[in-house]
Structure 1
Amino acid sequence: MNGKLVILAAAAAALAWQMPTVAAAQSAQSARSAEAAKAAAGDAPYDILIAGGTIYPGNGEPLVGDIAVSGDRIVYVGPPADRSAERVIDASGLIVAPGFVDPHTHIGEALASGIPAARLVLPFLTQGVTTAFIGVDGGGDVDVAATLGRDSGRDYGVNFATYVGLGALRRDVVGEEDRAPTAAELARMVALTEEAMCAGALGLSSGLFYAPQSYSGEGEIVSLARAAARHGGLYDTHIRDESSYTIGLAGAVEEALTIGREADIPVHIAHIKALGVDVHGEAPAVIAQIEQAQAEGQVVHADQYPWSASGTGLSAALVPRWAQDGGRQAMLGRFADSAQLPRIREEMAENLRRRGGAASLLITRGPADALGKTLEDLAGEAGDDPIQAAIDLLERSEAGVASFNQSEADIAAFMQRPWVVTSSDASAGHPRYYASFARKYDVYVRQKQVIDLRRFIDQSTAVPAALFGLEGRGRLAEGHFADIVVFDPEGFAPAATYAEPTLFSKGVRTVLVNGVLAIDEGRPTGRAAGRPLARAGAGCAAE
């Protein structure tokens, strides 16, 4: 299933869920407002009062109390008080937290959709996510002003910020070829980065594992990162190797750290992991490597999704980068070249081995007859070996895979570090789109007790807000934006699985986005109050 079909399907599901409930919710809201107005004997001082919940403010000890909201802001946080409001929400026995911040997602296409239901991003709201970052892995559009929708007139379900991407810059200026940019091309890429930063980009993102970004040298990236650094941006990177493909996991982390030092820019490592059988158990060494850099004064942090399976393209997982030089058509031409095919097959077999074999790759995107099957299944049906099955599938269409390649020990080791925050890496066909925050709470807080509830909330709210400079978000504090989630500590859990990846999570009772009820009594209201978020301090004076 391609991205547009996924968005259409998600929008249809959202509409099917919303339509029976929106009118009822609006009717109930009107009735409650009328009752509250009568009880208050005049205008209530607050729009919404969340009463009696266990409040986790995002950066402090929990307390049982009330939160009052007027307009888009929190105006009271404290002990229970006799206060009237247009709407009182009883949160007794529930957890009240800041709306979750997801710093690594692939929901840009949904936000750009012409379908209002798609722009609600219900898979996020039903987990309590109120702010998301897009443009990651080097994919951020060069035209950041357009991405932030300043002139679109569209509404959005969640707040969002964006990066400018190395991949987009390279494709616009250099193309798909495996070569360094000329001096003039590099100057153009630097100028475009400057423009994107002035328009509000968070910084520069890269996806060095993916062609054509994998063809970028360290000096090229440093030049672009310096341009981002001049405007207070960050360098966000899907590192060149999370496994043993090229320079190895430790080498790729060192490259990211070197770029950060040379460009004098904070480094954020995307979806940190030890991918594949060759590097299982290396998390402690990577942690030590990063914390040594921090001890020496470098700003470095990371995000992590709570799944043992990553999600990527089948070609990215298996096909050697030299065989992708020039783009998809050039790759297909090499498949048809009997002189080059044996080398391609040999290297694909090695890549399959490091990922754990054909049974470890589940097809999540592509031709309908392949969805939900492993590469091993496809090979068995065709009576071919797995490499031929992969080539046959790629000749029909690019495909997405869930790649089961991580160890639970490594996942836990990264999750426990204070500089690693929660993310989803949300992408079509993988349950992480619908369930990452719910899964982290249910599996790693409640079941395995890898981290406690406060750390889960802090890693999902105040810590990323502080790391990325989200002013007025990520904490429950007076004067902050009213991005709030209320969830049932006994019922907050994922429903999505690898077999059924598009099931909404359970247990979220209330979500406010900028003071507007997006989820009310566990149901979506259909109200879209999210905002594009330019980087704090963005804007450049004309010269």
Structure 2
Amino acid sequence: MKIALLLGIAAISLGAAAPLPPQKVDLLIRGGTIYTGSDAPFIGDVAIKGDHIVSVSRHANVTATRIIDAKGMIVAPGFIDPHTHMGEDLASDDQAKRLIPAFLMQGVTTAFIGNDGGGDPDVTKVLGSASIKPVGINYAAWVGFGAIREKVVGEDNRAPTSEELAKMKGLVASAMCQGALGLSTGLFYAPQSFAKTEEVIALAKEAGKRGGSYDSHIRDESSYTVGLVAAIDEAIRIGREGGLPAHISHIKALGVDVQGQAPKIIAMVEAARARGEKVTANQYPWSASGTSLVASLVPLWAQDGGRPALLKRFDDPSLSEKMHAGMVENLRKRGGADKLLVVEGKYRNRYLDAVAKELNLSPVDAAIAVIRIGDPGTVSFNQSEADIAAFMRQPWVMTGSDASGGHPRVYGSFARKYDKYVKTDHVITLRQFIERSSSLTADTFGLTGRGHLRSGAFADVVVFDPKTYASRATYEDPAQLAAGVQTVVVNGVVAVDKGAMTGKAAGRALAHKPTAGSCN
């Protein structure tokens, strides 16, 4: 009796503490195989309170308002898409569109908009829209070189005056101070294609001074003008002389003239990175690109002045032969009329050779007839699987969709990359797929608190079934939601539950913070 009493007194005097009570959390994702974005996978739990993750561990000591059983599932950071054209949907008056189900049902929780030089210089308006019209995913915005050039110079093929250049630089600086990620370009497209490299560098410097990045649909992914190699070199040069990281969007070797050049392009990027330059890229996992019929076939010189001028040139006998020859050559580069699928308008889901047969015209004359009606979107089968795989294996290439209407990449890019290139073709590993779809993107573009599953991070999470996660979208039927995603959490709110949309709009506009003192 005395011994027991003495032992009890001793325990009290030594300060023996009672076990801590379990922490109370809102949501516990239990028992899944966790890929944190930076660590080797393990089976464990993700605990979420409010909009943040409070713990990622093998066994969370918590009590949860709700528990999601993730046994047999993959648990990963919400995916981040660095190249999309979803700005209109995010600002739509239609609440269902603003949820962006095509992305959420793949596990994409954050997207960039304003790519290809199209980003509105009024970044305050773009980012402020989310507070007025709630959105389903997070988004960040680029300021577009094309939007700025059209605003100041117009659509003509000429250099800006010194006053115009100063005005464009001011617009970039202002956009950066409003929260833009950086400067995006689409130098393949008129009227951006009319700009010299030095003009782009001058604007890129304004973004660089304020901590931004340079993102580019390069001047030529094929052999249209300067060629693929020269266009890659230009993008790297703009980053170097602009004093900012360079990012090559939807990296590819497009068309019969450049297929097989992936190793050469990879070597160029590797050399730049070895010099200490920050160069990265994104890629969509499809052998077909997507653009418009005009951009696919009409020579750039004929696009000077926009659509009204183009239509007049079609009717000018002195130009018709030159234009026709240029379009024949561009069609050859893309592999022929049976490789060009029209995905909008009167001839939707018809290949150009079939349209030509129906109209009893040559493929180019048929294309001109269609363009006179409008400029429909097209899908162009122009890449080799060897090039796609070579680019995909690079640790500096992240997943992107280039999401735009009429192409299955809107609804299926991330799911297809897993199903085809991880699970079936074994081009990359599951861990590589996840990290290059989340943490690589977040870290490259400074999305603090995103892209990783770790304590203190924002609670953007995807839970998917490794057996069934796949794209269901096809070229002929592109608007099919992906399969296999069980749960998606956006800022702590369950946006996809048991494989179905919940209708919750928990996304946020993500403003990039400019370099301290650069906006005074």
Relative to structure 1, the CA distance from residue 542 to residue 135 in structure 2 (aligned partners, 3 Å threshold; closer, same or farther) is: closer
> Would you say the 8 A contact 2:177–2:514 is kept in 1?
no
What does residue 25 of structure 1 align with? none
Q: Does 1:513 align with 2:490?
A: yes
Q: Does 1:501 align with 2:475?
A: no
Q: Of the candidates 402, 407, 410, which is equivalent to residue 430 of structure 1?
A: 407
1:56-67 map, 5 Å: 56-67=35-46
**Could you list the per-position Cα deviations for residues 168-226 of structure 1 after superposition, in whole angstroms to 9, with x for gaps in the alignment?**
00110000000000000000000000000000000000000000000000111010000
Relative to structure 1, the CA distance from residue 211 to residue 542 in structure 2 (aligned partners, 3 Å threshold; closer, same or farther) is: closer
Q: Of the candidates 404, 421, 443, which is equivalent to residue 420 of structure 2?
A: 443
Whole-Å Cα distance in 2 between the matches of residues 480 and 530 of structure 1? 15
Q: Does 1:404 align with 2:381?
A: yes
Whole-Å Cα distance in 1 between the matches of residues 130 and 343 of structure 2? 35
Counterpart of 2:415, as a letter, is A
What does residue 163 of structure 2 align with? 184
> Would you say the 8 A contact 1:470–1:536 is kept in 2?
no
What does residue 301 of structure 2 align with? 322
Whole-Å Cα distance in 1 between the matches of residues 60 and 200 of structure 2? 55
Q: Does 1:127 align with 2:106?
A: yes
1:75-94 map, 5 Å: 75-81=54-60, 83-94=62-73
Counterpart of 1:432, as a letter, is R
What does residue 367 of structure 2 align with? 390
> Would you say the 8 A contact 2:22–2:61 is kept in 1?
no
Unpaired stretches in structure 2, ≥5 consecutive residues: 1-20
1:158, distance to aligned residue in structure 2 (A): 0.4
Whole-Å Cα distance in 1 between the matches of residues 333 and 60 of structure 2? 59
Relative to structure 1, the CA distance from residue 542 to residue 348 in structure 2 (aligned partners, 3 Å threshold; closer, same or farther) is: closer
What does residue 274 of structure 2 align with? 295
Q: Does 1:144 align with 2:123?
A: yes
Relative to structure 1, the CA distance from residue 163 to residue 540 in structure 2 (aligned partners, 3 Å threshold; closer, same or farther) is: farther
Q: Does 1:265 align with 2:248?
A: no
SS in 2 for 1:413: helix
1:149, distance to aligned residue in structure 2 (A): 1.6
What does residue 7 of structure 1 align with? none
> Would you say the 8 A contact 1:229–1:264 is kept in 2?
yes
Whole-Å Cα distance in 2 between the matches of residues 537 and 58 of structure 1? 26
Relative to structure 1, the CA distance from residue 362 to residue 60 in structure 2 (aligned partners, 3 Å threshold; closer, same or farther) is: same
What does residue 523 of structure 1 align with? 500
**Could you list the per-position Cα deviations for residues 216-261 of structure 1 after superposition, in whole angstroms to 9, with x for gaps in the alignment?**
0011101000000000000100100000011110000111111112
Whole-Å Cα distance in 1 between the matches of residues 65 and 350 of structure 2? 51
Counterpart of 1:45, as a letter, is K
SS in 2 for 1:353: helix
Whole-Å Cα distance in 1 between the matches of residues 59 and 489 of structure 2? 20
User: Pairwise CA RMSD of aligned residues?
Assistant: 1.3
SS in 2 for 1:456: helix
Counterpart of 1:528, as a letter, is A
SS in 2 for 1:123: helix
Q: Give the share of equivalent positions with the same residue, in percent.
A: 56
Counterpart of 1:428, as a letter, is G
What does residue 458 of structure 2 align with? 481
> Would you say the 8 A contact 1:47–1:85 is kept in 2?
yes
Q: Of the candidates 333, 355, 379, which is equivalent to residue 334 of structure 2?
A: 355
Q: Does 1:236 align with 2:210?
A: no
What does residue 97 of structure 2 align with? 118
Q: Aligned pair count?
A: 500
Q: Which has the larger radius of gyration?
A: 2
Q: Of the candidates 248, 254, 258, which is equivalent to residue 275 of structure 1?
A: 254
Unpaired stretches in structure 1, ≥5 consecutive residues: 1-41
Relative to structure 1, the CA distance from residue 80 to residue 43 in structure 2 (aligned partners, 3 Å threshold; closer, same or farther) is: closer
SS in 1 for 2:256: coil
Whole-Å Cα distance in 2 between the matches of residues 151 and 73 of structure 1? 20
Counterpart of 2:228, as a letter, is L
Q: Of the candidates 379, 388, 391, which is equivalent to residue 356 of structure 2?
A: 379
> Which has the larger displacement, 76-85 or 413-422?
76-85
> Would you say the 8 A contact 2:303–2:310 is kept in 1?
yes
> Would you say the 8 A contact 1:104–1:134 is kept in 2?
yes
1:317, distance to aligned residue in structure 2 (A): 0.7
Counterpart of 2:216, as a letter, is T
Whole-Å Cα distance in 2 between the matches of residues 314 and 295 of structure 1? 39
What does residue 337 of structure 1 align with? 316
SS in 2 for 1:53: strand
What does residue 443 of structure 2 align with? 466
**Could you list the per-position Cα deviations for residues 400-432 of structure 1 after superposition, in whole angstroms to 9, with x for gaps in the alignment?**
100000000000000000000000000000000
Whole-Å Cα distance in 1 between the matches of residues 237 and 74 of structure 2? 41
Q: Does 1:167 align with 2:138?
A: no
Whole-Å Cα distance in 2 between the matches of residues 128 and 536 of structure 1? 26
1:539, distance to aligned residue in structure 2 (A): 7.9
SS in 1 for 2:350: coil
1:540, distance to aligned residue in structure 2 (A): 6.5
SS in 2 for 1:339: helix
Whole-Å Cα distance in 1 between the matches of residues 519 and 359 of structure 2? 62
> Which has the larger displacement, 142-151 or 92-101?
142-151
Q: Does 1:227 align with 2:206?
A: yes
Counterpart of 1:259, as a letter, is I
Whole-Å Cα distance in 2 between the matches of residues 198 and 394 of structure 1? 40
1:84, distance to aligned residue in structure 2 (A): 1.9
Relative to structure 1, the CA distance from residue 542 to residue 494 in structure 2 (aligned partners, 3 Å threshold; closer, same or farther) is: closer
> Would you say the 8 A contact 2:46–2:60 is kept in 1?
no
1:537, distance to aligned residue in structure 2 (A): 4.1
1:23-34 map, 5 Å: none
Relative to structure 1, the CA distance from residue 542 to residue 138 in structure 2 (aligned partners, 3 Å threshold; closer, same or farther) is: closer
Counterpart of 2:322, as a letter, is R
1:265, distance to aligned residue in structure 2 (A): 1.2
Whole-Å Cα distance in 1 between the matches of residues 496 and 332 of structure 2? 44
Counterpart of 1:99, as a letter, is G
Whole-Å Cα distance in 2 between the matches of residues 240 and 81 of structure 1? 51
Relative to structure 1, the CA distance from residue 542 to residue 445 in structure 2 (aligned partners, 3 Å threshold; closer, same or farther) is: closer
Whole-Å Cα distance in 1 between the matches of residues 374 and 342 of structure 2? 12
1:541, distance to aligned residue in structure 2 (A): 7.4
What does residue 15 of structure 2 align with? none
> Would you say the 8 A contact 2:176–2:514 is kept in 1?
no
Q: TM-score, normalised by structure 1?
A: 0.91
Relative to structure 1, the CA distance from residue 285 to residue 399 in structure 2 (aligned partners, 3 Å threshold; closer, same or farther) is: same
Whole-Å Cα distance in 1 between the matches of residues 238 and 374 of structure 2? 35
1:536, distance to aligned residue in structure 2 (A): 3.1
> Would you say the 8 A contact 2:130–2:508 is kept in 1?
no
SS in 1 for 2:163: helix
SS in 1 for 2:214: strand
1:482, distance to aligned residue in structure 2 (A): 0.2
SS in 1 for 2:258: coil
